[in-house]
Amino acid sequence: MKPIKVGLLGLGTVGSGTFNVLKRNQEEIMRRAGRAIEITMVAVRNTERAKDIVKGEVEIVSDGNLVVDHPEIDIVVELIGGNEIAKDLVLKAIANGKHVVTANKALIAKHGNEVFKAAQDKGVMVAFEAAVAGGIPIIKALREGLTANRIQWIAGIINGTTNFILSEMRDKGLDFATALKQAQALGYAEADPTFDIEGIDAAHKLTIMASIAFGIPTQFDKAYIEGITKLEATDIEYAEQLGYRIKLLGITKRNEAGIELRVHPTLIPEKRLIANVEGAMNAVLVQGDAVGATLYYGKGAGSEPTASSVIADVVDITRLASADPEHRVPYLAFQPNALSDVNVLPMSEVFTSYYLRMRVEDKPGVLADVTKILAEFSISIDAMLQKEPAEGESRTDIIMLTHQTQEKNIDAAIARIEALASVTGTVTKLRLEELS
């Protein structure tokens, strides 16, 4: 049978991994796919570096249009990242009748609806397993393995950089800035780590998973995003004393009011498996009504782990290339005409539990004033920790864990608490999820 011919856009970390893994495991992959898969053209900016990687085995060009326009290429693998150039090349490849594999989470999260519509109209496939959690096959699990389930919620550690930083802060008592520098020195964080530490990268991935889990269009612009830059080592220590660990979680839930779509630092009970995911590893916890909780763990980034997912998508397309488009697995698990327009909730409408830390005067009546305000907003306390003042100090920390309440109520209560003369500065607020 005629080999499937692949064109690569980009030969960086993931692109070189894809080339090397496909070459190394070519025989195994061919046995699984049913026909040979050959990379025949690569588009890169740095052609000299590319020559060292491909060693004369494929044609190297500097213009991605030459790949997407090439009449013999069946699948275009987009690994250049970003939005505009990648989007233009992907849409052009689709218009030319080529299948597309991408690891570009920003492209799918922001422009997935447009890309999927174009692919549907043209009868080609778009696969994006590598866009979420690197080598962990979470897209296939959500879209195919759990298809019998009504997904109730997903909670994921889906950014290795932030998880490494939080692990270092907890294990070594480092402040955020020091842990970030260490992550950069070890290559876990970019020189400009904004997308990671501000939660944007995680929100891209969460947006994609939410769409597949609940059958809704991709809606990145409606995600609530809060990073870890303001997180203090003090709160990590207090959380530990209360039996919790802090992770940057991507959380999406379905309830009667709508869909929650949020990324933020979260307290998790230390007994949960996901709370013990350390370093740069990723993990995704999925709750389905039939299967219960399932946990997916592994390397969320890196050259060959991500290449593993890219090549799995290429193999899937190779198997299905001749199938009737109407009988392929839908991009977002649900048939395109069956996607729901259910509302994505603003953060103010979300119900969860909270960790509160406040600096107060060490005198009678202060705690009563605070609890009275919480009671006025129907917020009940689940646990509390009050520290003894340091020698010579007249102020101390009070830490409270609340039962579930609505975000707008906790914010209103905090505003009132901060106005008390006995409270110094701002109240630290973190969200808490039991994940039970």
pLDDT, average across residues 258-281: 97
CA distances from 31 to 34, 39, 311 (A): 6, 17, 14
Among 98, 205, 247, 253, which one carries the catalytic annotation? 205
Return the pLDDT at 84: 87
Contact 354, 432 (CB under 8 A): yes
**Is the pLDDT assigned to residue 243 strictly greater than 80?**
yes
> Considering only CA atoms, which of 302, 277, 326 is closest in space to residue 435?
277
At which of 315, 338, 361 does a domain end? 338
Q: Is 253 a catalytic residue?
A: no
**Residue 365 is part of a domain; what is its CATH number?**
3.30.70.260
Phi, psi of 317 (to 5 degrees): -65, -40
Cβ neighbours of residue 369 closer than 8 Å, sequence gap 6 or more: 420, 422
Number of domains in the chain: 3
pLDDT in tens, 23-33: 999 999 999 99
Return the pLDDT at 38: 96
| Mean of all residue pLDDT scores within the chain | 95
pLDDT in tens, 78-129: 999 988 899 999 999 999 999 999 999 999 999 999 999 999 999 999 999 9
**Is the pLDDT assigned to residue 394 strictly greater than 90?**
no
Residues 173 and 115 occupy one common structural domain? no
pTM of the model: 0.95
Beta partners for residue 352, in sequence order? 405
Residue 16 marked as a ligand binder: yes
Residues 278 and 328 occupy one common structural domain? no
**Is the pLDDT assigned to residue 321 strictly greater than 80?**
no
Model confidence band, residue 199 (pLDDT cutoffs 50, 70, 90): very high
pLDDT, average across residues 324-343: 87
Residue 10 marked as a ligand binder: yes
Residue 11 marked as a ligand binder: yes
**Is the pLDDT assigned to residue 387 strictly greater than 90?**
no
Determine the distance from the C-alpha atom of residue 212 to the mean position of all C-alpha atoms in its chain, rounded to a whole number. 13
**Residue with tokens 């249009």, as numbered in its chain:** 65
Beta partners for residue 254, in sequence order? 259
Residue 18 marked as a ligand binder: no
Looking at the chain, the whole-number percentage of residues with pLDDT higher than 70 is 100
| Distance, CA of 380 to CA of 383 (rounded, Å) | 9
In a domain, residue 358? The reply is yes
pLDDT, average across residues 230-245: 96
Instruction: Print the domain residue range for 78.
Output: 4-135+303-338
**Residue 82 is part of a domain; what is its CATH number?**
3.40.50.720
> Considering only CA atoms, which of 6, 9, 18, 1 is closest in space to residue 98?
6
In a domain, residue 345? The reply is no
Return the pLDDT at 198: 98
Contact 184, 251 (CB under 8 A): no
Residues 241 and 322 occupy one common structural domain? no
pLDDT, average across residues 207-231: 97
Q: Among 243-247, 272-276, 360-364, name the one with the lowest average pLDDT.
A: 360-364
Residue 13 marked as a ligand binder: yes
Residues 380 and 355 occupy one common structural domain? yes
| Distance, CA of 264 to CA of 431 (rounded, Å) | 8
Residue 396 marked as a ligand binder: no
Residue 34 marked as a ligand binder: no
> Considering only CA atoms, which of 9, 73, 68, 12 is closest in space to residue 42?
9
Residues 193 and 47 occupy one common structural domain? no
Residue 14 marked as a ligand binder: yes
User: Dmax over Cα atoms in the chain, in whole Å?
Assistant: 83
Return the pLDDT at 111: 97
